[in-house]
Structures are given as C-alpha cells and as structure tokens.
Amino acid sequence: MNPDSPELSLFRTHLEEAPFTAGVDGGRWALVQGEDLSQWHHCRIELRCDSRFSAEGRVVLRFNLAGYSAKAPTAQPWDAEKNTPLPTARWPKGSAHLNAIFNPNWKTTALYMPCDRMAMEGHDGWKQVFPQWWWTPKHTITHYLTFVSRHLLPTGHA
C-alpha cells in the first residue's frame, strides 16, 4: 500500500481534530458514507441543509483538495448516488446569501466564496472584505465547511 501523500496525511489529521468533529457531532456535516479517500485528491462531504433551501435536506460537495492546505479547496455540488455533478435544478437556493454562493450562472464547478480556490482568483478585494474567511495555508477543511454551513443551516432557523 502506498503511503499517504503529505497533503492527504494532513487532511486526515484535520478530520480527526475537534473543529471538524464538532460539526459531525452537531449533525452539520460528515464524510459521505463509504468515502474512503481512495480517490484523493477528491473527497465527498455532505452538509445538512435547511429544508427551505433544499427538499433533500442535504447537499454533497465533491472537493478538489490538490495542494491542501497550501492551496484553498474548491468544491462542486455532487450527486453521490450517481457519482456525477449535481443538476443545477437540485442546487440549494432560497436566501440571497445562498444564491450568491451556489451560483450556477457563474460556474457549475465551484462555489462563489472567499475560501474557494477558483472563486478567489480575480477577487483579491475579498481579502479586505472577508479577512477572516480568505483562505490561508493555516486553515483547514472545517474553515470551508463552516462558511458554507452557516448559510445552508442558519442558526436563526435551526
């Protein structure tokens, strides 16, 4: 068996740490059942979603974690059963914030947010607007998940 790459090893460590497990224990996110990281640098994580925004009550994100954590993750909504991109008709939508993040009119392969690698390109101004959310190598996957989750499952309604 090949040893884990340093990026995968680091990612596994972050999955065991308290910030990630807090979200798992709180029912906000989890690795998709059966996700064994064998398709690294891809990884599928499902996030719970308010039923106002998605009838399915969840959305799966397929992450591209190449260069983790020096490089920011990028993720796209995913159909875990068919193992294909999620049709845009099934993307979460409803609040202005959520519609800005899950914006298929911008791209169908990434989320529009200050810690998504693809969205960060060309948006240097977000460093000043979202200084706490702009991805840096010290961040972990939980950082990305926290940003998305607070819009999928707003505390005010949970």
Partner 1 sequence: MNHTVHLSGEGNPTPVSVPHSPSPAALFAAAKQAGVLPTDAKAEDTHLFVGEEDEPVTADRLKSPGKDRLRIHCHRCRKIEVTVVFNLKKHTKALAPGAEVRRVLKWALKEFGLTGADADNKELRLGGAGGEVLNEDAAIGSYAHYPKCEVTAYLVDIVQVQG
Residues in the chain: 158
What is the total count of residues that contact partner 1 (CB under 8 A)? 30
- Among residues 19 and 85, whose Cβ is nearest to partner 1? 19
Exactly one of 9, 67, 84, 129 binds partner 1 (CB under 8 A); that residue is 129
- Among residues 22 and 70, whose Cβ is nearest to partner 1? 22
Q: 23 by DSSP, 3-state: which?
A: helix
Q: What tokens were used for 61?
A: 């994100």
Q: Positive or negative CA dihedral for 63, 125, 138, 145? A: negative
Q: Give the residue carrying structure tokens 């939508």.
A: 93
| Mask for 67-106, x = binds partner 1 (CB under 8 A) | ----------------------------xxx--xx-----
Exactly one of 2, 3, 16, 33 binds partner 1 (CB under 8 A); that residue is 16
Q: Residue 150 to residues 99, 122, 158: CA-CA distances in angstroms? A: 13, 24, 10
- Among residues 40 and 130, whose Cβ is nearest to partner 1? 130
Exactly one of 25, 56, 79, 121 binds partner 1 (CB under 8 A); that residue is 25
- Among residues 38 and 128, whose Cβ is nearest to partner 1? 128
Choose one: 16-24, 31-39, 61-69, 73-81; the region binding partner 1 (CB under 8 A): 16-24
What span, in angstroms and rounded, lies between the C-alpha atoms of 109 and 78?
Answer: 10
What span, in angstroms and rounded, lies between the C-alpha atoms of 70 and 143?
Answer: 14
Q: Smallest Cα–Cα separation from 116: which of 77, 89, 90, 155? A: 77
What span, in angstroms and rounded, lies between the C-alpha atoms of 153 and 49?
Answer: 5
Contact residues toward partner 1 (CB under 8 A) are 16-19, 21-23, 25-26, 95-97, 100-101, 112-114, 123, 125-126, 129-130, 132, 146, 150, 154-158
